[in-house]
Structure 1
């Protein structure tokens, strides 16, 4: 809840608390007017019917006053509940399923067209005996298409991003990808805690050939063109975390290793353009940022 919402809630509660006081003041004023009316000699006559009419004339306005107070208080409570519900729904829309990135509707880079899945050999028929069936290896995990891998590495934008959620579940079924994605979630979340958001990083177009070189093990001047993060505040925050926070440093190096292995693995089946597009995902942006902060990537002019 923001500070402004907190102030509004306090003001609404104070307004509701003042309603009984207003009712009490109105009741006292009315009774004072009745007493003044009676004292001036215009009170009820001795007949019982006159007393009854007089008492009703006194009690009915009091009942109307407190009925109005009760109605106003109930209306204020209902309005507050409606505001709380509206705020909760708004917060649910802003928060993605996965807590890795707290932003909504980021600028999504172009997604490569999926390639046809490689042809797989049909599994051999299982022998009849039960023991042989138990010894059969489990079916291999299908390789994600470039589009599916990009969406998994970019994380869902929210609970309505069903396609990204589906791709994320597919990726988590691969043990190697699952380790990479969990590490990416950790570093992106920790960076967001320092005010560094992947969607805010300006990422100019890079040469796909550099990504293939990086996947092949090239370092230093050969891949200096990938050191494209120029946000000094983000670089300083990431560098400071890696120097001062041992937990973040371990998670960051773990993530860098797994993302580098992913690039090497995908370089065997995908072209360089796919590798460069994967680098534009939120996980890819975190990789470039941490690679520069750790010295894995350095600018040519530095």
Structure 2
């Protein structure tokens, strides 16, 4: 298809080109000359001359009326050609303006998407930098709920309230275990830069090596999903019964736990599946996240109540697990 701008230039050139003596004018002149010659021959050969004043009038009408009709026809045809050329020029001009408008509308959309991707990446980098560099005492204070989210072998084997620690014991072994409420709050991630409670819980979670692996794996996939315009807050999964989560933690897979794949948004599922097929980095991050969530959740389930399982299922991290689980066929 020709470019509307090129077509507009061509049409304008044809319209603005100086008029020449066209073939139509030549034909009209020729017909007029032939008619004049025929009339002259008729008058000269007709017996009795012109036949008085009335004869002169009739002779003049016979001479000039056909010639006038010929040139009126030529003028009409020339006007029709000019109108057609003007219509073509206007159509080309409209197409050119439509193409320019579509281009102007498409450009901000692309720029807006690039800005959103850049903003999401910058926000993720800022949050990660805050997690690793901030040392506020107020952000590291434990919550009132001290039930441990994960039971480590060291904690399970401790028999005394104040066990004797050898010299050189890592500092992380001296910290109190991460509570269930802080664990769940950390998997939701801070709601805003002013969410001090969310940052406090996340800070505590990153001090636990096991939970920190899950947090970072979740952060990676959430950032990658944001690049596709997929945000966990926009997804509204169907709630699953706590016993399904317990069955999954205890190793059941397939249709028996298909209720956990509560994400039904077709657009998000299709975009995620397409990115996993085409992008090996995205695919590796997704599988690493699924493995880490599976292992950590199996430990969490041992010490969690049904209501705590429901609360965890409503976090951004759990929603990402439901989305990737459906795409990866965990619930098939």
What's the counterpart of residue 180 of structure 2? 146
Report how far residue 179 of structure 1 moved: 1.1
Q: 1:146, CA displacement in angstroms?
A: 2.2
1:62 match: none
2:269 equivalent among 235, 251, 258: 235
Work out whether 1:280 is the aligned partner of 2:314. yes
Q: Map Cα deviations across residues 239-292 of structure 1 (whole Å, 9 max, x no partner).
A: 111111100111111111111111100111112332232121011100000000
Match of 1:182 among 187, 205, 216: 216
RMSD: 2.8
Q: Per-residue displacement from partner, 1:204-240 (whole Å, max 9, x unpaired)?
A: 2221110001111111111011121110000011111
Contact 1:114–1:146 (8 Å) recurs in 2? no
Mapped contact 2:146–2:180 kept (Cα < 8 A)? no
Q: Distance in 2 between matches of 1:211 and 1:196?
A: 24
In our comparison, the structure showing a higher alpha carbon Rg is 2
- Does residue 166 of the first structure (1) align with residue 195 of the second (2)? no
- Whole-angstrom CA distance in 2 between matches of 1:281 and 1:288: 11
8 Å contact from structure 1 (residues 98, 155) kept in 2: no
Q: 1:280, 1:160 → 2: CA distance?
A: 21
Q: Which runs of 4+ in 1 moved over 6 A?
A: none
Deviation per CA, 1:112-147: give whole Å up to 9, x if none: x97543697333456xxxxx634x454254332222
CA contact (8 A) 1:98 1:156 kept: no
1:122 aligns with 2:161: yes
SS at match of 2:225: helix
2:228 is aligned, of 183, 194, 206, to: 194
Partner of 2:127: 98
Equivalent position SS for 2:268? helix
Pick closer, same or farther for the CA change 1:297–1:98 going to 2, 3 Å.
Answer: farther
Pairing 1:210–2:249 present? no
Structure 1 CA distance, aligned partners of 2:278 and 2:164?
57
Structure-1 separation of matches of 2:144 and 2:323: 27
| Alpha-carbon distance in structure 2 between the residues aligned to 1:212 and 1:175 | 23
CA distance in 2, matches of 1:163, 1:242: 34
TM-score normalised by structure 1 residue count: 0.57
CA distance in 1, matches of 2:217, 2:308: 21
| Aligned ranges 1:8-87 → 2 under 5 Å | none
User: 2:196, 2:287 → 1: CA distance?
Assistant: 31
Q: Residues 211 and 272 of structure 1 are in contact (CA less than 8 Å); yes or no, is this contact kept in structure 2?
A: no
